Amino acid sequence: MKIALIGTGKMGSAIEKLALSQGHEILYKINEHSLNLLHPEYLSKADIAIEFTSPDAAVNNLRSCLIAGVPVVCGSTGWQSQYELIASEFIEQNGTLFYASNFSIGVNLLFELNRLLSGWMSKLPEYSVSITEVHHLQKLDKPSGTAVTIANDIIKYDLNYEKWVLEENNIPKNKAFVPIEALRAQDVVGIHTINWKSAVDKITMHHEAYSREGFAAGVFLAALWLKNKKGVFTMKDLLFQS
């Protein structure tokens, strides 16, 4: 594949390393110093774009890919409030978008388990839920996109919850709120923990990433799966749809 790599940070570097090891070509490496390469004249030469940037840049980058007619795999987080708008634009204009807040296979299995357990917990209000996420000091969005996905799925499947809150915002505790604790530490790739507690016991689901190689492998799994497809897709389509 000829790849336009949009974003040259930690994930971009991991993706570049894996791409080259598998014989793919990095056609462009695009960052804030080379935004001219987002022009359709350049992007249209790529087989696929892989986008890992910042919350502020992601939406414009995705629209550039749509205009250029290049399929895009996106892992940027922090822009989910605009996801439905961007997804509708890709569908209306016959584009191709694959989005995931986390490309780890293990995390996406955690997502599916979380959906199942949240549905069961809807009938067990004696259990209360909390989420903790830990990431490296350079991570820009807080809480992580993965934690937001977990929280939104809890709200969707457990009718006892209405919204999620970031604990540091000093919002008064409310049984209808899903609290998220977001911690930052040196050299942590990503840790997510979901706790369901009652007066008599606790159920914990936990995922810890040891390196970014698992994320990069998921990105390429998505990129290869996306070939000849039109529409908007997620890891749930890739992993759980027959």
Mean pLDDT, residues 38-65 taken together? 96
* Cβ neighbours of 87 (radius 10 Å): 18
Residue 135 is a catalytic residue: yes
Q: What is the pLDDT of residues 61-100, one digit of tens each?
A: 999 999 999 999 999 988 989 999 999 999 999 999 999 9
Residue 142 is a catalytic residue: no
Put simply, whether the predicted model's pTM sits higher than 0.75 gets the answer yes
CATH architecture of the domain with residue range 105-209: 2-Layer Sandwich (3.30)
Mean pLDDT, residues 213-239 taken together? 93
Domain ranges of the chain: 2-99+213-240, 105-209
Distance CA 9, CA 213 (A): 14
Q: Do the beta carbons of residue 72 and residue 50 sit within 8 Å?
A: yes
Q: Do the beta carbons of residue 108 and residue 100 sit within 8 Å?
A: yes
Buried b (16+ CB within 10 A) or exposed e, 169-179: eeeeeeeebbb
- CATH fold for domain 2-99+213-240: Rossmann fold (3.40.50)
Beta-carbon contacts of residue 156 (< 8 Å; ≥ 6 apart): 115, 118
Beta-carbon contacts of residue 81 (< 8 Å; ≥ 6 apart): none
What is residue 242's predicted lDDT score, i.e. its pLDDT? Answer: 57
Catalytic residue among 24, 139, 192, 207: 139
Catalytic residue among 2, 29, 135, 206: 135
